[in-house]
Structure formats: structure tokens, C-alpha cells
A = this chain, B = another copy of it.
């Protein structure tokens, strides 16, 4: 297991589901809330699409010029380790960070520009794996990624 730079233990691994406000939840956990961490949390919450670390840094930097990339990366990694943020990795291998861990959902991605959005598909609850298809695994969930082309990309040539 990774050390997550030593700041967290795996005991802190269950997201509190009583409140939709990430910053509040972090405070309630007793997370040391520096200006940098608050800004990262705010940026994540303020978006309806899912951002890369670079995106988060860019937006955070506007609000707090002194923030560093390392801190953004470290903070995101810790939020994921705590279970307060979910990571989605598209085929390009660049991680996106999804702050919405309170409501079950899946994703829709533009295969052209990599835009990633939340969706709530129909029929999703009927998806199961037969025992013969489980190969002895303990299966605890699944993610669906819908693939398509977004409105702005439809017009473009490449």
C-alpha cells in the first residue's frame, strides 16, 4: 500500500454521507484545513465536469497565487485516499477527480476532447455477473463509462 505521504491511515476510509459540502466534511474529520487545501476542495466542488490535476492547479492558482503543483497533487491524492473524492482514469491515462462520492453515478466521456460528465443511466441496476463469470473474485461494484462525442467536438474535423 502507498503511504499517502504518511498523513493518513486507512482507518479514515469511509466518506461521511450526511452532508454534501466537501469542505464541511473535511473540517468535521479534523483535517488540518490550510488555505491551499480549502481552495482545492472549493475548486473541485464548483465544477460539474471532472478536472485533471493540471486543471485543478490552474483554477486554484487563480484564487491563491502561492499554491504549488506539488500541493495540489498531494492534496488530491489524500482526498482520494480518504474516500472524499473519486478518481476516474480515461484511456489517455490522465486522472480526473470527481468530488461527488455521495450519490451513485456513472460517466459520459467525449472521446475527442476527453470531457467527462456525470450520468445516471437507465437499466444500470440490472447489470450483474454470473458466478461463472466471476472467476472466484469478490465483486463489489462496477463503473460504466459511456463513450461519445460532445456537442462542441461534433463540429470539428479532427
Chain A contact residues, CB within 8 Å of chain B: 1, 87-95, 108, 110, 117, 119-124, 126-130, 133-151, 154, 158
Contacts and interface: CB of A to CB of B under 8 A. Distances in A.
Nearest to A154: B138
A153 B89 CA distance: 23
A144 B91 CA distance: 13
A142 B123 CA distance: 13
- The main secondary structure of chain A at its interface with chain B is mixed
Nearest to A128: B122
A127 B119 CA distance: 12
A117 B144 CA distance: 16
Contacts of A123: 123, 126-128
B147 A142 contact: yes
Contact of A93 (B95, B128, B145): B95
Contacts of A142: 121, 144-147
A26 to B, nearest CB: 22
30 contacts: A93-B95, A108-B133, A108-B134, A108-B137, A108-B139, A110-B137, A117-B135, A119-B134, A121-B142, A122-B129, A122-B130, A123-B123, A123-B128, A124-B127, A126-B126, A126-B127, A129-B146, A136-B151, A137-B146, A137-B148, A137-B149, A137-B151, A138-B148, A139-B148, A140-B147, A141-B146, A142-B145, A143-B144, A143-B145, A145-B145
